[in-house]
Amino acid sequence: MSVEEVAQAKNAVEFSRENLESVLKRRFFFAPSFELYGGVSGLYDYGPPGCAFQANVIDVWRKHFILEEDMLEVDCSMLTPYEVLKTSGHVDKFSDWMCRDLKTGEIFRADHLVEEVLESRLKGDQEARGLTKDANANAQEDADKKKRKKKVKEIKAVKLDDNVVKEYEEILAKIDGYSGQELGELMIKYNIGNPVTGEALEPPMAFNLMFETAIGPSGQLKGYLRPETAQGQFLNFNKLLEFNNHKTPFASASIGKSFRNEISPRSGLLRVREFLMAEIEHFVDPLNKTHPRFDEVKNIKLRFLPREVQQSGSTEPIETTIEDAVATKMVDNQTLGYFIARIYSFLMAIGVDSNKLRFRQHMANEMAHYAADCWDAELKTSYGWIECVGCADRSAYDLTVHANKTKEKLVVRQKLEEPVQVTKWEIELTKKLFGPKFRKDAPKVESFLLNLSQEELEAKAKELKAGGKIVFEVEGMDSQIELDDKFVSIEQVTRTEHVREFVPNVIEPSFGIGRIIYSVFEHVFWSRPEDSARAVLSFPPLVAPTKVLLVPLSNHPDLSSVAHQVSKVFRKEKIPFKVDDSGVSIGKRYSRNDELGTPFGVTIDFESAKDGTVTLRERDSTKQVRGTVEEVVKAIRDITYNGVTWEEGTKSLKPFETQSE
């Protein structure tokens, strides 16, 4: 088959999630954890091919980002004390809305419940209108119901008013943005209760998604499993800056597991309780977000779904270069744009289908209040468009909150070429008077005053001048405090500064590796048109779990001996391979192998025993060529690790004709 024929063949048989899942299960790419004990939802184990694929994806990620961009990798603790996550905002805000059914004890995630119920009513409406779907879509849905543990078990064919349909559709479009109270109101307004019993539920309550534990034997130190890998990087900022010889911009990176105690996990690998993340924190001057290597990526064309397009109700992306996207301010700045382009090229390298990738900008209400801009790389799967990589400009938020809390400076100091005159309000405290007056509270009062902003200082200066005293309240102290000018002075001072001090902004590309892996499974999966039971996973050789299947044609000792020799060569070259010397037919062995996504097959036959040549088979086209072991190994290495095409890599090898598989 030619390249074009292969491309055609890949699209000939319609994608079936059921078939894919059957292959992934049969070949142990992954499986529910603790299945022997009945399983725990939202927890999965990767078997050998899934684990190898994951390791290869991480290896590419490490080379593509950390090595190529000279990032500073850190590996930080997962166990995280309460204080850190209180400061970061996770203790207060990292939660979903849950509703309890007091009768059955069931717990529902409010937004998912509203979504499912309204969707099922819309489907019922379609049925009542006689607009049913094809059998395949129905089968898919049936399979979904079983697999995804949908709460709504049955679709009732009930026609809705046209304006109700419109209301439902509008709600579904905004389903990610509702507060708990709003969800509760929707549930009352549209009579959404337990989908099975119809009973009303408790109003939505916030459920924090962090797993809680106690550190140490006393049980006194409350901790959580980290919900993301970012905090460890922020907390080490000063050490990293020093390690980088105080040069900026620079980036840190971290690869590791994070945890979210999902209310009711669903969608297989897409929403799980324990997951591998890879996160970058790029620390950059807020006044200069250009990127020195932007030119290298500027011509990359991407599909953007900016805020305005979404607001207009469209899902039609804008296709343009990243240079243009930054120039028109669609993407906020060059550094953000640079990373968006680099995310794209990483995803291409590991097998994502470029036609199933878009960059969607966060709507204003989706984004954290401090974020300057945020884009998600979304991958299209049978579950819809899935957020797989986030790329946010988090401004100076994280470093600022940790610095404020710990009173440690987290700043960059930059020598100015030219000294500048800076006029500032400055406060001075007569510290010896604070102790006698405030006793143990003295540090609190001092800290409050020393942390006033320029605006606050200006106001206080006026107050002091006007009334000879200032009045204020300090958190954790009961009464108002009054201080006169014996205690404080506030003056406007002009100084010559030789150093500029600033809190860097953070651009954060954040990768959900499990979600990316599952999406790639869908993108590279196809069935041979001549026999749809013959499934193939067309992983790019670079990330394929195993690179080569070694197949002795029979168990004859002569062939085993050659197989042993060839194995040694692959082992020495550190090319991951498997031997299949099972008795089954060669066709069966290759089929098994196609399901594992192994890009190359090397067959050892009686000729091999005589002249040392072997055949090399390409997985997708099933083309075969023949050459010496050395030639074949070189071709495999070039195609797998050096980015050479099959045609180029095998041009010196002889085509090998065989009966069709």
Query: Measured from the CB of residue 50, what is the shortest distance to a second copy in angstroms?
Result: 8
CB atoms inside a 10 Å sphere around CB 304? 20
User: Environment class of residue 210 by beta-carbon count within 10 Å: exposed (0-12), middle (13-18) or buried (19+)?
Assistant: buried
What letter represents residue 409's amino acid? Answer: K
Question: Which lies closer to a second copy via its Cβ, residue 52 or residue 386?
Answer: 52
Whole-number minimum distance, CB 59 to a second copy, in Å?
Answer: 9
CB of 490 to a second copy, least distance (A): 30
CB of 5 to a second copy, least distance (A): 32
Q: How far is the CB of 272 from a second copy (least distance, A)?
A: 9
For a second copy, the closer CB: 468 or 587: 587
The 8-class DSSP code of residue 478 comes to S
Q: Closest distance between a second copy and the C-beta of residue 583, in Å?
A: 10
Cα distance between residue 633 and residue 580, in whole Å: 18
Helix (H/G/I), strand (E/B), else coil: 491: strand
Residues 6+ apart with CB under 8 A from 580: 549, 550, 551, 589, 592, 593
Q: How far apart are CA 623 and CA 462, in angstroms?
A: 84
d(CA 336, CA 508): 9
The neighbouring-strand residues paired with 98 are: 109, 205
Least Cβ distance, residue 476 to a second copy (angstroms): 19
Smallest CA-to-CA distance from 349 within 110, 648, 68, 74 is with 68
Max CA separation in the chain (angstroms): 105
Q: Are 339 and 507 in contact (CB under 8 A)?
A: yes
Quote the least distance from Cβ 162 to a second copy, whole Å. Answer: 37
Could you tell me where the DSSP H helices lie in 244-361?
Answer: 294-297, 307-311, 322-327, 334-349
Closer of 83 and 324 to a second copy (Cβ): 83
CB of 327 to a second copy, least distance (A): 27
Question: Per DSSP, which regions of 445-487 are E strands?
Answer: 469-472, 481-484
Here the tokens at position 239 are 């050490």
Nearest CA to 453 out of 404, 505, 396 is that of: 404
Handedness of CA 633, 638, 640, 641 (dihedral sign): positive
Q: How far is the CB of 236 from a second copy (least distance, A)?
A: 6
* Nearer to a second copy (CB atom), residue 247 or residue 432: 247
How large is the C-alpha radius of gyration of the chain? 30
Alpha-carbon span 149 to 130, nearest angstrom = 27
Sign of the C-alpha dihedral computed for residues 380, 381, 384 and 389 taken in this order:
negative
User: Which pair of structure tokens corresponds to residue 391?
Assistant: 């790329």
Q: Please, which residue, 250 or 425, has the CB nearer to a second copy?
A: 250
Residue the block writes with tokens 């990176």: 253
**Least Å from the CB of residue 656 to a second copy:** 27
Nearer to a second copy, 99 or 457 (CB): 99
**Which residue in the block uniquely carries the two structure tokens 């980088």?**
244
- Whether the Cβ atoms of residue 452 and residue 470 lie closer than 8 Å to each other: no
Rounded Cα distance, 111 and 96, in Å = 8
Rank residues 47 and 89 by Cβ distance to a second copy and give the closer one.
47
Q: What minimum distance in Å lies between the beta carbon of 60 and a second copy?
A: 11
**Which string of DSSP letters, residue by residue, matches 99-167?**
EE-TTT--EEEHHHHHHHHHHHHHHHHHHHTT----HHHHHHHHHHHHHTT-S----------HHHHHH
Of 380 and 592, nearer to a second copy (C-beta) is 592
Here the tokens at position 441 are 């509270």
Nearer to a second copy, 125 or 228 (CB): 228
Closest among 566, 638, 569 to 580, alpha carbons compared: 566
What is the smallest separation between the CB atom of 85 and a second copy, expressed in angstroms? 11
Pairwise CA distance, residues 25 & 539, whole Å = 17
Assess contact for 196 and 153: CB atoms under 8 A: yes
For a second copy, the closer CB: 39 or 419: 39
Question: CB-wise, 113 or 470, nearer to a second copy?
Answer: 113
For a second copy, the closer CB: 70 or 169: 70
Nearer to a second copy, 425 or 570 (CB): 570
Which residue, 221 or 327, has its beta carbon nearer to a second copy? 221
Contact yes or no for 104/98 (Cβ under 8 A): no
Q: For the CB of residue 24, give the shortest distance to a second copy in the complex, in Å.
A: 12
Please report how close the Cβ of residue 256 comes to a second copy at its closest, in angstroms: 8
**Smaller CB separation from a second copy, 236 or 400:** 236
Of 28 and 190, nearer to a second copy (C-beta) is 28
Q: How far apart are CA 583 and CA 556, in angstroms?
A: 11
Least separation in angstroms between residue 349's CB and a second copy is: 14
The separation between the first and the last C-alpha atoms of the chain, rounded to the nearest angstrom, is 13
What is the rounded CA–CA span in Å between residue 321 and residue 334? 12
Contact 212, 223 (CB under 8 A): yes
